[in-house]
């Protein structure tokens, strides 16, 4: 059969020729059918420099600051948005910011990482904008003093040229204050209420709760003395049991009695807050005084997606006017002099119905 006949028959009966084998080199996966050659030498060279780079990174100097050891990889906390780790990560973020401002970070951190370098540049721009607020044109000396803590109302005090002082509050993952879950969280909320919520809760809810689960009952005097700490010494048994019943807690036990106690504590907390705020209102003048005192002369450093924003607040936003209304059975809503709203949430910070009652104001 000649070539012409073969072609015609193959077409007619759809006879396909055997495809060529696509060969790969086992060592480097080079595609031989595309004419690629062995790349093992190149790969080994790349691997060598990666190993050297990792060794350099691991040998970079650590910075000891506020009982913390800051390493090159700490910068990842500015990328991590896991809310369950936010308290710990936020302390690391604040430590990094303070060390950058105080020139405690080795220059190699900025050379090896664009994230470190970008953060430093953003902080420099923030300070430049901050200085404009007080017409400071020359910054010969900058000192950052860490002031974070439950007793302070801001995170940093920046002293520029040994004279000008700026009180700075840091907020992560927000470009304006209105984007934050709260801008202030007053402790001992009952001082701003028409009656004591802590006493109301102890008398009407807490006694029943602990008796139901055969837990010890601290005296009322002892309870009121320690309830405003994150871990009240008189409630250790109760707090441990609460977290053993919380599936998201590292202390979760899986025991039915612990789970029931956890759920009962949440329900008791919800009912007590709902009942209390339906009966008692706010001491609006005293709360206004607190807000004005804690927010005056404060500057916000807001970080989001690699950028830092500066914001100051109109104090009229904190002057409460008119009568409070109730929202979601757990919050007061009040109007301010500027025409805006403040939401004042009554909550527990360290376990519902267990420890640390406070306001969350947003």
Asked if residue 208 and residue 356 are part of one domain, the reply reads yes
Mean confidence (pLDDT) of the chain: 87
Domain final residue, candidates 172, 200, 222? 172
Burial (CB < 10 A; 0-12, 13-18, 19+), residue 143, is middle
Indicate whether 267 belongs to any domain. Answer: yes
Mean pLDDT of all residues in 51-71:
79
pLDDT of res. 52 = 64
Taking CA atoms, 178 is separated from 181, 184, 317, in Å, by 8, 12, 12
pLDDT of res. 9 = 39
Mean pLDDT of all residues in 92-101:
95
Give the rounded percent of residues in the chain with a pLDDT score beyond 70.
86
Indicate whether 39 belongs to any domain. Answer: no
Domain final residue, candidates 172, 206, 235? 172
Provide the domain count of the chain: 2
Indicate whether 46 belongs to any domain. Answer: no
Contacts of residue 109, Cβ cutoff 8 Å, sequence gap at least 6: 60, 72, 75, 116
Asked if residue 195 and residue 101 are part of one domain, the reply reads no
Indicate whether 184 belongs to any domain. Answer: no
pLDDT in tens, 264-297: 999 999 999 999 999 999 999 999 999 999 888 8
> Given pLDDT bands bounded at 50, 70 and 90, which one contains residue 27?
confident
pLDDT of res. 12 = 45
Contact 341, 333 (CB under 8 A): yes
> Given pLDDT bands bounded at 50, 70 and 90, which one contains residue 83?
low
Mean pLDDT of all residues in 117-144:
93
Radius of gyration of the chain, Cα coordinates, nearest whole angstrom: 31
Q: How far apart are CA 143 and CA 98, in angstroms?
A: 9
CB atoms within 10 A of CB 99: 21
Asked if residue 335 and residue 279 are part of one domain, the reply reads yes
Partners of 170 in beta bridges:
301
Mean pLDDT of all residues in 337-350:
93
Contact 160, 167 (CB under 8 A): no
Asked if residue 216 and residue 107 are part of one domain, the reply reads no
163, pLDDT greater than 70: yes
Prediction pTM value? 0.74
Asked if residue 163 and residue 195 are part of one domain, the reply reads no
53, pLDDT greater than 50: yes
Asked if residue 343 and residue 194 are part of one domain, the reply reads yes
pLDDT of res. 180 = 77
Indicate whether 338 belongs to any domain. Answer: yes
Indicate whether 198 belongs to any domain. Answer: yes
Domain that holds residue 159: 63-172
Which has the minimum average pLDDT: 90-99, 165-174, 178-187, 303-312?
Answer: 178-187
Asked if residue 355 and residue 261 are part of one domain, the reply reads yes
Q: According to DSSP H, which parts of 184-246 are helical?
A: 197-201, 207-212, 220-226, 236-244
Mean pLDDT of all residues in 57-66:
82
Asked if residue 205 and residue 109 are part of one domain, the reply reads no
Domain final residue, candidates 119, 140, 172? 172
309, pLDDT greater than 90: yes
Indicate whether 76 belongs to any domain. Answer: yes
pLDDT of res. 50 = 65
> Given pLDDT bands bounded at 50, 70 and 90, which one contains residue 20?
low
Q: Which of 330, 344, 351 is nearest to 229 (CA)?
A: 351
246, pLDDT greater than 50: yes
Asked if residue 250 and residue 154 are part of one domain, the reply reads no
Asked if residue 134 and residue 104 are part of one domain, the reply reads yes
Indicate whether 240 belongs to any domain. Answer: yes
Asked if residue 331 and residue 282 are part of one domain, the reply reads yes
Mean pLDDT of all residues in 103-113:
91
Asked if residue 167 and residue 78 are part of one domain, the reply reads yes
CB atoms within 10 A of CB 96: 25
> Given pLDDT bands bounded at 50, 70 and 90, which one contains residue 66?
confident
């Amino acid at each position: 059969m000649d070539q012409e006949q073969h072609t015609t028959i193959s077409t007619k009966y759809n006879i396909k020729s055997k495809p060529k084998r696509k060969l790969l080199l086992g060592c480097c996966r080079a595609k031989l059918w595309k004419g690629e050659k062995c790349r093992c030498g190149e790969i080994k060279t790349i691997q060598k420099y990666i190993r050297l780079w990792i060794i350099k990174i691991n040998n970079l100097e650590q910075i000891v600051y506020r009982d913390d050891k800051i390493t090159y990889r700490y910068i990842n906390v500015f990328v991590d948005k896991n809310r369950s780790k936010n308290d710990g990560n936020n302390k690391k973020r604040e430590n990094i910011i303070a060390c950058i401002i105080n020139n405690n970070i080795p220059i190699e951190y900025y050379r090896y990482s664009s994230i470190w370098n970008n953060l430093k540049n953003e902080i420099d721009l923030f300070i430049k904008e901050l200085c404009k607020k007080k017409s400071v044109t020359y910054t010969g000396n900058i000192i950052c003093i860490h002031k974070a803590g439950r007793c302070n109302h801001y995170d940093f005090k920046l002293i520029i040229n040994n004279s000008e002082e700026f009180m700075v509050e840091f907020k992560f993952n927000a470009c304006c204050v209105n984007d934050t879950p709260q801008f202030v969280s007053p402790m001992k909320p009952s001082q701003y209420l028409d009656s004591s919520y802590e006493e109301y809760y102890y008398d009407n809810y807490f006694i029943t709760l602990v008796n139901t689960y055969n837990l010890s009952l601290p005296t009322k005097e002892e309870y009121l003395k320690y309830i405003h700490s994150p871990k009240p010494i008189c409630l250790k048994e109760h707090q441990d049991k609460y977290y053993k019943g919380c599936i998201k807690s590292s202390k979760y036990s899986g025991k039915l009695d612990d789970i029931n106690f956890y759920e009962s504590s949440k329900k008791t907390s919800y009912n007590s807050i709902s009942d209390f705020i339906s009966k008692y209102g706010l001491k609006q003048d005293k709360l206004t005084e607190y807000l004005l005192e804690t927010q005056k002369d404060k500057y916000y450093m807001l970080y989001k997606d690699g950028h830092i924003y500066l914001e100051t607040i109109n104090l009229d936003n904190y002057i409460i006017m008119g009568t409070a209304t109730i929202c979601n059975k757990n919050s007061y809503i009040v109007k301010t002099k500027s025409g805006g709203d403040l939401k004042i949430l009554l909550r527990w910070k360290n376990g519902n119905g267990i420890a640390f009652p406070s306001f969350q104001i947003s």
